[in-house]
Amino acid sequence: MLTAADVAALRAHSARLATQPLTAVIANDPARAQAFALRVGPLYASFARQRYDRIAVDALFALAERADLPAAIRALFDGTPVNITEGRAALHTALRSNLSTTPPARDAHTAARTTRIRMAQVVATLHASRVTDIVSVGIGGSDLGPRLVVDALRAPDHGRMRVHFLSNVDGAAAQRVLAGLDPARTAAVLISKSFGTQETLLNGAIVRDWLDDNDRLYAVSANVERAEAFGIDPERILPMWDWVGGRYSLWSAVGLPVALALGMDRFEALLAGAAEMDAHVVATLPRRNLAVWHALTAVWNRNALEASTQAVLAYDERLKLLPAYLQQLVMESLGKSVRDDGTPVVVQTVPVWWGGAGTDAQHSYFQALHQGTQIVPADFIGVVHGDDPYRDNHHALLAHLLAQTEALANGKGSDDPHRAYPGNRPSTLLLLDALTPQALGTLIAFYEHSVYLQSVLWGINAFDQFGVELGKQVADRLLPAVRGEAVDIDDPVTSALLDEIHSRLL
């Protein structure tokens, strides 16, 4: 776990490099472009434009060695209760890989395979039926992963099934999703590990009543009893387990909307891509390990360069939901200020992750990335082979991707300070050969592993999320007051706000 002294040592390296811009560091190390790049299956990553040199990288790998990252990776795969605050394993790897012989990992892998057989039956049944539309009801980890993958990989005309995602408790979301759908040709899947999430229960009830036929109502949950009580036939409930965190659950039956939209074969291919990354991460020494490089780079940017935000910029329209997905994965996992043993952290943990899709983002906030006062490290993601028929557009897209990373790093001088580009702005470039299910699985699993390794380096638990509970409890307490019931409100500001709302209600 990183200590204050470790951070001071990393800062000494960044101070040493302060007078050497990236252009100089790169020019002084002719083999850097190759030495700072790695490939795993369809994913190529270049760290050559990060603001460290080989000496600083050696210091980072020394930290990795002290943290014994290989042992931490083994513990994850073996089903050790790495989620120590809740006493649970985090066996998402067992959903797609069979890389551990421990009983918990083997049992998890068997349960996952058995569940996929049931998923395949559901897909076959619905594909053979009159159903043309699926409404997927869930939120957070029960929504963002399937939503990303369906949006990224669906056919331009949607193919056999259109999948619609309903997450927000705002009734306008339900109204918009259901408008234009025919209940007789629609099935719904309620996805909730707990089956106790307010948003999903409220939206689920709207959809259940609108459907008016529970034969087309499915659920994915670790709480079968609650799903049954909601009116879902146990035959149509697929399991989830305590040993999978919501934001790591795409690979389980939570991926049912993916399988319905793309077919079971492509869902299996997504898992195979993730398994390829698992095999790499578990078997590769830190120096050649892609997830370790990414995690150490995150630590460098946060703790040595003190960057408070991190951008993720997808140069592929189909990956435009990736930033939203990663926000939950990274910030719900690493947004912690207490270490595993309950003591406060002494170093900064997760920065704010944000981003969007290129080239749209270039015409929005890139001004600040190039000339703003804050340094924003960025992950740029590109896809080499485009699948659309518009080659000129694809070439332009790739040119912009390369241009932005080069311009941010190299900058450009000018006598006019308004027209000068300081450069020295760090980025990682991730290139997928093509946007196949395998490649997307590899990319997502890569981020999962990097997040876990960052948590190990910072000494925090990546698998709990107590921070989201308080707001839910307060909302439950305030709900009767919003409805207009007589309730004592202690907080004077909330009380005044409630008065304002009630005075305006028509």
Kindly list the residues in this chain that would bind ligand F6P in the complex (CB under 6 A): 139-142, 192-194, 197, 200, 246-247, 332, 465, 468
Active site residue 370: no
| Distance in Å, CB of 140 to ligand F6P, minimum | 3
CB of 141 to ligand F6P, least distance (A): 3
> Tokens for 257?
């909307």
Q: What is the DSSP pairing of strand 309-315 with strand 378-385? A: parallel
Q: Look up residue 253 and give its two tokens.
A: 């039956």
Which strands, in side-by-side order, build the sheet including 37-40? 37-40, 43-46, 427-434, 378-385, 309-315, 352-357
**Which H, E and C letters describe 247-277, residue by residue?**
HHCCCCHHHHHHHHHHCHHHHHHHHHHHHHH
Nearest distance from C-beta of residue 231 to ligand F6P, angstroms: 17
The total number of residues shown for the chain amounts to 506
Report the alpha-carbon distance of residue 496 to residue 2 in Å, rounded: 45
Identity of the residue, 390 or 466, whose beta carbon is nearer to ligand F6P in the bound complex: 466
The nearest distance, CB 192 to ligand F6P, in angstroms, is 3
**Cβ distance to ligand F6P smaller for residue 240 or 429:** 240
Using DSSP's 3-state secondary structure scheme, residue 160 falls into coil
Pick between residue 141 and residue 323 the one whose CB is nearest to ligand F6P.
Answer: 141
**Closest approach of Cβ 456 to ligand F6P, in Å?**
20
- Cβ(427)–Cβ(378) under 8 Å? yes
**396 or 468, CB closer to ligand F6P?**
468
Q: How far is the CB of 467 from ligand F6P (least distance, A)?
A: 9
Is there a cis peptide before residue 359, judged by omega within 30 degrees of 0? yes
What residues form DSSP beta bridges with 37? 46
Q: Give 239's strand partners.
A: 221
Q: Which is nearer to ligand F6P, 247 or 280 (CB)?
A: 247
Residues whose CB is less than 8 angstroms from the CB of residue 350 and which lie 6 or more positions away in sequence, other chains included: 302, 330, 331, 333, 334, 335, 336, 454
Residue 446 CA, chain-centre distance (Å), reads 10
Shortest Å, Cβ 239 to ligand F6P: 13
In angstroms, the CA 468 to CA 447 distance is: 22
Q: Is the dihedral of CA 67, 70, 75, 76 positive or negative?
A: positive
Per the CB < 8 A criterion, the answer to whether 195 and 238 are in contact is no
Tokens standing for 35? 């030495």
Nearer to ligand F6P, 167 or 424 (CB): 167
Q: How far is the CB of 217 from ligand F6P (least distance, A)?
A: 16
- 363 catalytically annotated: yes
Nearer to ligand F6P, 100 or 200 (CB): 200
Contact (CB, 8 A) for 251 and 274: yes
Strand runs (DSSP E) across 222-368, as ranges? 237-239, 309-315, 352-357
Phi, psi of 179 (to 5 degrees): -60, 130
Using CA atoms, how far apart are residues 91 and 245, in angstroms rounded to an integer? 8
- Of 189 and 383, which CB lies nearer to ligand F6P in the complex structure? 189
Catalytically annotated residue among 199, 332, 448, 449: 332
385, 395, 472, 502: the active-site residue? 472
Please identify which residue in the block is written with the tokens 């485009």. Answer: 386
Nearer to ligand F6P, 52 or 463 (CB): 463
For residues 41 and 284, is the Cβ–Cβ distance under 8 A? no
Structure tokens at 502: 């009630």
Our answer to whether residue 472 is catalytic in this structure is: yes
For the CB of residue 195, give the shortest distance to ligand F6P in the complex, in Å: 7
Catalytically active residues, by annotation:
332, 363, 472
